[in-house]
Amino acid sequence: MKRFLFFLIPILSIAQFEVSGNITPRGQFYLDSLDTHIDLPFRIGELEANLKAGDFYAIASLAIETRWDSIKNPDYDLREAYVSWVPSFGEIMLGKQIIPWGAADGNNPTDNLQPYNFYYLFNSGTDRKNGSFALNSSVYLNNLLVQAVVLPFHESNTLIKSTDPFPENLKPPRDFTDDEIFFVDGANELELGIRIRWSGTDSDFGFYYFSGNDRNPSPYEFAFVPLQGPTGPLFEMPTKLGFRKTLFYGLDGVSFWGDFTFRFEGAYFQTHNSSESQYDLSADYYQTVLQLEYSTPWDITVTAQYIQSATLNLDFETHVFPKTSRFVPLDIEDAFMPGMGTPFAMITNKSIMLMSSTELFDSDLELGFASLIDLEETGAMVNISVNYLIEEKLELGLGTSFFKGENTETNNFHAMESFSNASVNLSFKF
């Protein structure tokens, strides 16, 4: 012990330690009934600690998550906890971390290293992500950045519970127990990601490669269920879920043209079921994002994105079940969902997102606007945010999200209309 302290004391004497965080109570209410709050989890507090000693860093981030209906029983989420070494040639990080990928703002087909938390789907940046254990190494070679990420443990997206007040099209029809899910284990858990980025004077370009397992589960076993009574039709329903093996290649880039910034991002996915599945499925699909950003003379930033996803190829073996008029088989082609990529691909295959933001009164007031418009069906989402800095460390935030879509069975925006909401939060930072 004495020898340990002998080496530790000199390190601590040159170390720099910082702690920061925030306390942010938040309320969310239905637009058509502002006196009814929406009982969904939110992060009421966050704490981040940073320790620096020479070229070494230790970083930890803790979030306190709760619901108003269970405010006395919060959950503690260690979002990140890792160590970092920053030598002259790059950086090496080990531990639980959130590693963002992609060049576009908010919608990133290549950002698949860490899983999403669907409760925070309409947040921005890494707030939508969960951390996972990884070895993350980056090497700089003149204008090149070569990054390799090894993830030894598979982590899946945090899905919405079927009983939570969330749009029906964004949550499962029922909750599946651990016994009803084929989890990835053993050597199949090991995942590898590689990113190579070239930086020029006015442009950056990147190449991505990832081999791993889906973040979203897919149906692996089925049974026929009489949803309309014992003598009615038998509908094929999933009884067990699993995670497909997926490989993706991606490209992105950023180019600056005066007051304009152009960004693009695309990913090509190859996926197939594992041996536990009741049927064989393989598919190829892609997702792309094109973004144009303009900074106006009035300090207003305007951004437009074109987002598209499509299934290129889908091969599967049909199930072997009795062929009678009572059996209604599931249409695998219609039911296929990507297990990776931007979550908005679950809502629409082709859309435009418009965004703008500005700051007023010496940056004390920040205004934001975002709209997602479906190009295949009549539907849209509109989000408006206002943030006002009351004092140096005290900020008030107001927001509203509005959904509208044509009344058809396939229109996801119509299914989300009842979730149109307003929110308010008061954030104290320290």
Which amino acid is residue 240, in one-letter code? K
Question: Cβ contacts of residue 264 below 8 Å, gap of 6+?
Answer: 103, 104, 251, 252, 253, 288, 289, 290, 291
Strand partners, 341: none
Main-chain phi, psi angles of 249, to 5 degrees: -120, 140
Q: Is 80 exceeded by the pLDDT of residue 224? A: no
* 225-248: pLDDT as tens digits: 776 666 667 666 778 889 999 999
Residue 337 vs residues 134, 191, 274: alpha-carbon distances, Å: 27, 21, 16
Q: Return the beta strands (E) in 226-360 as ranges.
A: 234-242, 245-257, 260-272, 281-295, 300-316, 327-328, 350-360
Per-residue confidence (pLDDT) for residue 408, from 0 to 100: 87
Q: Is 90 exceeded by the pLDDT of residue 279? A: no
Which residue has better confidence, 409 or 392?
392
Nearest Cα residue to 338 out of 300, 301, 292, 288 = 288
Main-chain phi, psi angles of 127, to 5 degrees: -60, -20
CB-count burial class (<10 Å; 0-12, 13-18, 19+) for 262: middle
Per-residue confidence (pLDDT) for residue 114, from 0 to 100: 95
Most confident of 66-75, 329-338, 380-389: 380-389
* 194-214: pLDDT as tens digits: 999 999 989 999 999 999 999
Q: Is 60 exceeded by the pLDDT of residue 288? A: yes
* 262-277: pLDDT as tens digits: 999 999 999 998 877 7
Per-residue confidence (pLDDT) for residue 208, from 0 to 100: 98
Which letter does DSSP use for residue 14 in this model? H
Q: Is 70 exceeded by the pLDDT of residue 131? A: yes
* 375-401: pLDDT as tens digits: 998 999 999 999 999 999 999 999 999
247-270 average pLDDT score: 96
Main-chain phi, psi angles of 175, to 5 degrees: -85, 135
Domains of the chain: 87-345 (2.40.160)
CA–CA separation, 388 and 116 (whole Å): 28
Q: Is 50 exceeded by the pLDDT of residue 4? A: no
401-425 average pLDDT score: 91
Do 91 and 138 meet the contact criterion of CB atoms below 8 Å apart?
yes
* 86-101: pLDDT as tens digits: 999 999 999 999 999 9
Per-residue confidence (pLDDT) for residue 278, from 0 to 100: 76
Per-residue confidence (pLDDT) for residue 124, from 0 to 100: 82
Q: Is 70 exceeded by the pLDDT of residue 73? A: yes
**pTM (predicted TM-score):** 0.87
CA–CA separation, 197 and 17 (whole Å): 32
